């Protein structure tokens, strides 16, 4: 019985994490997975925001070069931390 409860809890936690950034992904024009485990969002106005590997909006200095998992280099323009943070919080306020 304990195994079933544990499996259910772990599955729920993984599902919640997978759905945690739906609003941010919907708002972004492009989303890149970076080599360090973080995620880069490029919005329609060309400004960018970064989510660290723990799911938090992270500050990034302008003109910092980041590398995607496939080796592509992208330079940071327009650090939209508050914009991304509000989108991430919007997802968490929907019942998570």
pLDDT tens across 26-64, in order? 889 999 999 999 999 999 999 999 999 999 999 988 899
CA 56 to chain centre: 7
- Please state, in angstroms and rounded to a whole number, the distance separating the CA atoms of residues 27 and 25: 5
Considering the entire predicted model, what is its pTM?
0.72
Each domain of the chain, given as residue ranges in start order, spans 2-92
Fold of the domain spanning 2-92 = Thrombin, subunit H (2.40.10)
């Amino acid at each position: 019985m304990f195994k079933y409860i544990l499996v259910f809890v772990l599955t729920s936690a993984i599902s919640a994490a997978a759905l945690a950034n739906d609003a941010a992904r919907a708002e972004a024009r492009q989303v890149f997975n970076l080599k360090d485990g973080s995620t880069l969002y490029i919005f329609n106005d060309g400004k960018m925001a970064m989510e660290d590997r723990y799911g938090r909006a992270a500050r990034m200095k302008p003109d910092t070069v980041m590398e995607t998992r496939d080796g592509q280099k992208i330079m940071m323009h327009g650090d939209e931390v508050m914009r991304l943070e509000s989108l991430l919080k919007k997802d968490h306020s929907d019942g998570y």
